[in-house]
Chains A and B, each alone.
Chain A
Amino acid sequence: MTTTTTGTTTGGTAVRAVGTAHSRVEGRDKVTGAARYAAEIPFTELAYGWLVLSTVTRGRISSVEDAPVLAMPGVLAVLHHGNAPRVDIDYVGMLGMRPDPTVAVFQHDRVPHAGWPVALVVAETSEQAREAAEALVVHYEEEPHDVAFSAGHADAYSMPGPAGPGVTGKGDLEAQLAASSFVLDAEYSTPEEHHNPMEPHAATAHWDGGRLEVVDSNQGTIWVAAELASLFSLDPASVHVRSEHVGGGFGSKGVRAHQVAAVMAATVLSRPVRVAMTRRQMFSLAGYRSPTTQRVRLGVDAAGRLLALEHSCLSLTSTVHEFIESGAGPARVMYDAPAHHTANRVVRLDVPSPTFMRAPGEAPGSFALESALDELAEKSGIDPIELRVRNEPEVGPVSGLPFSSRNLTACFREGARRFGWADRDPRPGLRREGRWLLGTGTAAASFFAGAAPSTAAATAEADGTFTVRINAADIGTGARTALTLVAADALQVPTDRVRVRIGDSDFGPAMIAGGSMGTRSWAWAVTAAAEELRERMALSDGIPPEGITVRSDTTAAVGALAQKERHSFGAQFAEVAVDVATGEVRVRRMLGIFAAGKIVNPLTARGQFTGGMIWGISMALHEEAVRDRNTGALYGADLAGYHVASNADVPLVEADWVDDPDPDDPVGIKGIGEIGIVGAAAAIANAVWHATGVRHRQLPIRPDRVIRADAHA
């Protein structure tokens, strides 16, 4: 289907492009293969690097036997801690975080986790590099490791994270629990999960006239350029990173070992070097979502109003880098109570460093919190939607700040109407269709809605077209198309007169594709530049051959945003079928209704929402990386062993939205990148309970767990 919107003016009324469905401007290039991805772009004199990863989980490298490998056909170099260029990791990066030392490859002999990069073999062909890399013998002094993650780990400590402080608290929890009519106290767990974007990480580095050129697949070229400049002590202006098309990122595509290794090899060999990760390497080099164990305690009065809320979340991180999965974060936004306590804790183990993964904190945290709400609804005899509506907070439960807008109840009302919730019998285990027990469930969703400073340039060309340059990243979201619509409206021209160029660090600072903030942040800068350009054009006497270019910088405007609780919201609904004899769980249909700001392009937005919801199906039923305690490495680290939902698992997934423009944004955008997954797993788990009468508090809800739970029920 091709849907185009031209944004023409008819009868004096401007037809707005924003809000109308528009197919991807680069869609034809992508489906015909004309769009080149990072590892496909040709270079002359290109050499290929292959990463060698540690086979031990903790210890020291005692020797790297590179001589036999250097004698193998086509081998050009073996980089390791004994000979690699030095890098500097004593800096704070663009996102305000210190770098994960995992990216500082080959700097020392210590091995802190399985799959740690210990060498790069560079050869004339990819096949030669791989064969030589697999032949490279590395000797280790192995040390005992600890990868055992469990609730109540003695070494856990709290630390601040993306969701704010490590610990928040008000009110007397025990007293309020004692005063409650109904109390829920339950533990939940989620497994280690991996991003697994379709396109593996890949980078090509080369030096061009004293300038470092990197072609990469990432979520922000300026981000990667700045990190590489810091690591290699280069002038930021002398690092140029391009990332035209990106086959998914989900939080994993920042600076990683492959770019750093490629730059090192290009420096040593003075020729272009490409390093791509294999799928299996991605399981230890690309970051992941930490497993969590969570405890939720809730107490309500007889009317269903929360008196007590406690949510604590434990996650893990590596011994070299601190990252916390803030699962207790959603409770700070969703529900208030006189006694309200949240805590995010982390424990350091001999594992790779986790990182941001789509809806960090909210995805696992909402599973626990929204499952707990459902359990409390069961205990108190209150409808799960009604229970949530009765506990809508006036202001931020922890911050005390007003909400910029909060349309959660509207999402539930619209979703309930379309899903047929009013006809639901709340009792579990009653509906049977052949061998299947049927049930329905719901859950709430929220995700932070923010904006970050960005710059953009808008050029009126002499031929009547417009070129917009912004360092955005389209990681499959449709950002390039969304910005085309935004620019066309701001310029008051049809979309076919606007060309948006993205993914080039030379275009200047801009927000990364992350935090559900990309499109909003970029659209703001594009709107500012385009509007000023129109004013300039109105004052100018025609357009000179070189065009008229205006640059914008939203630093001041974004900085002037009032302090508020700013979030998108949503209501998730799921119907499942469960065969308790075989443990099979099938999602029959899902509906998500979102209040997520102005929707720029309904076509791609629906894809983002449903994509998130399908990820929620995977999270609920399939995704689980299994760490083998004895070896300390993952078991089945490939897409045969690590399951994501197949097409057959996704029969009917619908997403829609209620009107919810952000009053403080020039376009009304909030951001939709992550909220689709939030609450989805809880809605499915709640539906599994409704079908079977058995609560599943451990994800994923695998057949063996359903069979065991049924045996114990």
Chain B
Amino acid sequence: MKEFGYERAADVSGALALLDADPDARFLGGGTNLVDLMKTGVERPARLVDVRELPLDRIESTEDGGLHIGATVTNSDLAAHPDVRRRYPALTQAVLAGASGQLRNMATVGGNLLQRTRCGYFADVSKPCNKRVPGSGCPAIEGEHHNHAILGASDHCVATHPSDLGVALAAFDAVVSYETTDGPGELPLTDLYLPVGDTPHLETALPPGALITGVTLPPAPAGAVSRYRKVRERASYAFAIGSIAAALDVRDGVVHEVRLAFGAVASRPWRARAAEAALTGGPVDAAAFAAAADAELAAAEPLPHNGYKVTLMRNLVVAVLSELAEEAAR
């Protein structure tokens, strides 16, 4: 493999300076995705700037009752944190649904959000891929795509974002904070990822050289119960073929507030706002859940072999909201 430099950053400004100095440098978090991609030649950085030792490893309550999660908090620590478990149970469930214990011990929150798609064409440098080599084509559209996107994709790319964590963060209105050499910035998680369009190689709205420093969660919806369900092709250690993060607050027999986000259906964690709008103020029953799912999935554009995901997501919405409604009634 290509020889590369490795440096460990002592502080955020040092990390930014190291990256700024070398256009072929990459930040290294847990390395659970980047190192694999370096082995297969998909990524060929000249230098790695290790940010895992930066003092961004705290989880702290915010003044308004939310939570700030540092970018280098490991997935394991995030999932185990008492405040996360109590206030954002879907977040813990999402993290624990991903990878393996060993990988979660290494993987970081910032790295998780910036992991690359697991599309098999992207991962194989012997094949075309518009995301990896702009303009080379997307073989998935005519080829293997049973686990590709049904929402928000384009004729140029139908890859999905693989994160479980990001789906739960999207449901909880997370805001991503970052630093650049020009100063700090913030982006709602749902705006972190760019639309695919004809530029699938441009994945995030972060400025060049930006370092994610943390994620802030506003207070969880008062009175809401939440849940993450992931469907995959084996019981463990596989990426989702469809997942859902849901939070539901029922008051006086109607939906007071609902949050829904879908995973493995789009190039980003998919916040299902059309479904939320259809549900809010309405009845708490399976027919309403199904109608809301249909409202969201009306925009789906399945390919010949991934149309089942429309059925799957509809079934997941009904199943998980029904479970939450039952839980809320207890």
Binding site for B on A (CB under 8 A): 55, 127, 130-131, 134, 280, 435, 581-584, 586, 621-622, 626, 628-631, 633, 635-638, 640-641, 643, 645-649, 702-704, 707-708, 711
B253 to chain A, nearest CB (A): 24
The answer to whether residues A635 and B126 also contact, given A582-B316, A646-B237 and a CB cut-off of 8 A, is no
Contact: A641 with B120, CB < 8 Å? yes
Contact: B118 with A703, CB < 8 Å? no
B315 to chain A, nearest CB (A): 4
Q: How far is the CA of A640 from the CA of B318 in the complex (A)?
A: 30
Number of A-B contacts (CB under 8 A): 106
Contact: A130 with B241, CB < 8 Å? no
Contact: B236 with A648, CB < 8 Å? yes
Contact: B126 with A643, CB < 8 Å? no
Q: How far is the CA of A134 from the CA of B1 in the complex (A)?
A: 8
Contact of A645 (CB < 8 Å), options: B3, B120, B139, B234: B234
Chain A contacts of B144 at CB under 8 A?
Answer: 626, 628, 635-636
Q: Is B5 an interface position by the 8 A CB rule?
A: no
Chain B interface mostly helix, strand, loop or mixed? loop
Q: Is B319 an interface position by the 8 A CB rule?
A: yes
Contact: B235 with A703, CB < 8 Å? no
Size of B's binding interface in residues, CB under 8 A: 38
A702 to chain B, nearest CB (A): 6
Contact: A583 with B234, CB < 8 Å? no
Contact: B312 with A633, CB < 8 Å? no
Contact of B143 (CB < 8 Å), options: A131, A435, A629, A649: A629
B241 to chain A, nearest CB (A): 6
Chain B contacts of A702 at CB under 8 A?
Answer: 146, 233
Q: How far is the CA of A647 from the CA of B101 in the complex (A)?
A: 13
Q: Is B63 an interface position by the 8 A CB rule?
A: no
B109 to chain A, nearest CB (A): 22
5 A-B interface contacts by CB (under 8 A): A628-B127, A628-B139, A633-B126, A641-B118, A703-B231
Contacts of B20-43 to chain A: CB distance below 8 A: 40-41
Contact: B231 with A584, CB < 8 Å? yes
Of chain A, the residue at the smallest CB distance from B241 is A703
Contact: B315 with A643, CB < 8 Å? no
Contacts of B194-235 to chain A: CB distance below 8 A: 231-235
Contact: B315 with A582, CB < 8 Å? yes
Q: Is B124 an interface position by the 8 A CB rule?
A: yes
Of chain B, the residue at the smallest CB distance from A127 is B1
Of chain A, the residue at the smallest CB distance from B140 is A635
Contact: A55 with B126, CB < 8 Å? yes
Chain B contacts of A582 at CB under 8 A?
Answer: 231, 242, 312, 315-316, 319
The answer to whether residues A707 and B308 also contact, given A582-B231, A631-B127, A636-B123 and a CB cut-off of 8 A, is yes
Q: How far is the CA of A635 from the CA of B139 in the complex (A)?
A: 10
The answer to whether residues A646 and B1 also contact, given A626-B144, A641-B120 and a CB cut-off of 8 A, is no
The answer to whether residues A583 and B143 also contact, given A435-B319, A704-B308, A711-B311 and a CB cut-off of 8 A, is no
Chain A contacts of B146 at CB under 8 A?
Answer: 702, 704
Q: How far is the CA of A703 from the CA of B235 in the complex (A)?
A: 11
Chain A contacts of B127 at CB under 8 A?
Answer: 628, 631, 633
Contact of A707 (CB < 8 Å), options: B236, B305, B312: B312
B309 to chain A, nearest CB (A): 8
Q: How far is the CA of A649 from the CA of B238 in the complex (A)?
A: 12
Chain B contacts of A621 at CB under 8 A?
Answer: 233-234
Q: How far is the CA of A267 from the CA of B210 in the complex (A)?
A: 52
Chain A contacts of B88 at CB under 8 A?
Answer: none
Chain A contacts of B123 at CB under 8 A?
Answer: 636, 638, 640-641
Of chain A, the residue at the smallest CB distance from B127 is A631
Residue among B238, B308, B318, B319 with most chain A CB within 10 A: B308
